[in-house]
Structure 1
């Protein structure tokens, strides 16, 4: 492992909420997990609109409060075929 990778991994603590988002053309799905990679809670389905992202943000904040987590890392991956 190089220094940058170690530095990134060191940022993840037991108080870190990790959200993985599957990006789709119209509706996205977010799934929460803890620092060990264990999923918990229900997935969040949200549309590709301002209101949809507001819904996603509120969902994240509620999860952070319910799980007493003080930081969040969100990972989103675009799909190349959506760019066409």
Structure 2
């Protein structure tokens, strides 16, 4: 049954899927973004602080990627 669940998750990934990897730290986080094929969107990780302002910049980064990738 486990493979059926894994296959369902894989099948849910489409060309419009943004895959994010986040290295969580106590003060600073690092994020990377990939397309559905595993191709990275940025050449280096996006660094943001563990504050409200840091998460606002992280959200802006994601929205910017979305605009450049799917709407631009």
Aligned length: 69
SS at match of 1:46: strand
Structure 2 gaps, min length 5? none
Select the residue among 58, 66, 70 that pairs with 1:68. Answer: 70
Deviation at 1:14, TM superposition (A): 1.4
TM-score, with structure 2 as normaliser: 0.84
Structure showing the higher strand proportion among its residues: 1
**Structure 2 counterparts to residues 34-73 of structure 1, below 5 A:** 34-41=35-42, 42-68=44-70
Instruction: Say which structure, 1 or 2, has more relative contact order (CA 8 Å, 6+ apart).
Output: 1
Structure 1 gaps, min length 5? 70-84
Provide the aligned C-alpha RMSD in A.
1.5
TM-score, with structure 1 as normaliser: 0.73
Runs (4 or more) in structure 1 with deviation over 2 Å come to none
